Homo-oligomer: A and B are copies of this chain.
Amino acid sequence: MKNPIRIAILGYGNLGRGTELALRNCPDMKLVAFFTRRDPASLKTLSPDVPVYSVDKAEELKDEIDVIVLCGGSATDLPEQSPKYAKYFNIVDSFDTHAKIPEHFENCDKSAKESGKTALISAGWDPGMFSLMRLLGGAILPQGKDYTFWGKGVSQGHSDAIRRIEGVLDAKQYTIPVPEALERVRSGENPELNTREKHTRECFVVAAPDADKARIEQEIKTMPNYFADYDTTVHFISKEELIRDHSGIPHGGFVMRSGETGINGETKHMIEYSLRLGSNPEFTASVLICCARAVYRMNSEGFTGAKTIFDVPPAYFSPKSGEELRKELL
C-alpha cells in the first residue's frame, strides 16, 4: 500500500504487544517505531525490523510518525503521557479511570489544540465499544434502561488485590455475570439489580506451603470494594495448575438496552451487544488501531483537539472508502 499511516507504540506490555500484532492485519498502516522507558537494547519485540527508541527521543521523531498509540496504564502513565505526547503527535490511549475521564479529556484537549494534533482518549471496549453501545441504545430508545455486565473474564485489579494478601504466591480472579440476571434483563422485566445480583467472583489462588488457607479465603471474601459485596468462590490450586489452566486473559461482557415505544409504552424492544474475547489486550489493541486510523484521518481533515469514540464518524475506522462501505456493508 502506498503511503501507509505511520504508527508508533509507546509501552511494551500486553497492550503494546497486542497493538504490534493487530497492526499486522492492517496493510494501510505501518509500524515504524517502539518507544520505551527501559533500555531500548533490552526490549525484545516480535518485529526485529522496527527500531526501538528511548522515550526521550520521541520528540525528535515527530515528523516520522503519524500516530502514537500509548500503551501505558491508566493509574500513573497515561495521565502524564497523553497530554505530553499530544503536544507533538496525534495520539490514541485507553485511559479507563472512569471518574477522571473529564479531567484527562481537558488536559489532552488543551495540548492537542495548541499543537494542532488530535488525541483520541479512552478507546478500547469499556470504555470504548461498550460506551458507544450505551450511547446508541439510549439515543434510539430514550424510554428504557441500560445494563452492562462484564465477563466472564480476568480482572487484573482483583487478581492483584489477592496477590497482596500474606501467604498468597499468585492468583487469578474471574468476574462472571449471573446467568439469571442476564435472563431477567432479556425477558424485558427491567429489574433493579444490586451488585451481588449482577456478578459473581471466582478466585484461583496459589498459597505458600505453610499459609493458613482459611484465613486467606476469609480475607479475600471480606475485602471491601473488591469482594465483600459479591458472592465469591475461592479455589486453592498449585502453581502448575494456575499456569496450565489460567494463563489466558479472556474477557467480555454485555451491554443491553431494554426500551419501549408506542402510545403508552406498550411496545417492547431489546438491544443486546456482547463480546467474547480470547484476549482482552489483543482485542483492546485492535480497537486502538482502528482509532489510530480514525485519528489520522480526522487530523488530516482539520479536526483537532481531544476526541472520544463518540466523536468519530464510523467510516473513519474502516480502511474502505465511502463508496465501498455503502455498496458492501450498508
Give me the interface of A with B, judged by CB distance under 8 Å.
Answer: 18, 21-22, 25-26, 46, 98, 101-102, 105, 122, 127, 129, 131-132, 134-136, 138-143, 260-263, 267-279, 282-283, 285-287, 290, 293, 308-315, 317-319, 322-323, 325-327, 329-330
Contact = CB atoms under 8 A, between A and B. Distances in A.
A267 B282 contact: yes
A271 B18 CA distance: 18
B273 A315 contact: no
B142 A26 contact: yes
A327 B101 contact: yes
A190 to B, nearest CB: 14
Contacts of A271: 273-275
Contacts of A319: 139, 142
B272 A314 contact: no
Nearest to A325: B310
27 contacts: A25-B261, A101-B327, A101-B330, A129-B136, A129-B140, A138-B329, A140-B287, A142-B319, A260-B278, A261-B278, A261-B279, A261-B282, A262-B278, A268-B278, A269-B275, A269-B276, A269-B277, A269-B283, A269-B286, A270-B275, A271-B273, A272-B272, A273-B273, A309-B314, A310-B322, A310-B326, A314-B314
Contact of A318 (B98, B135, B317): B135
Given A308-B326, A312-B314, 6 more contacts: A22-B261, A261-B278, A269-B283, A271-B273, A271-B274, A311-B314
**A-B pairs with lowest CB-CB distance, top 6:** A267-B278, A139-B317, A310-B315, A270-B276, A261-B282, A25-B142
Number of copies of this chain that the complex holds? 2
A66 to B, nearest CB: 18
A21 B262 contact: yes
Contacts of A278: 260-262, 267-269
Contacts of A313: 310-313
B263 A286 contact: no
Contacts of A22: 261
Contacts of A275: 269-272
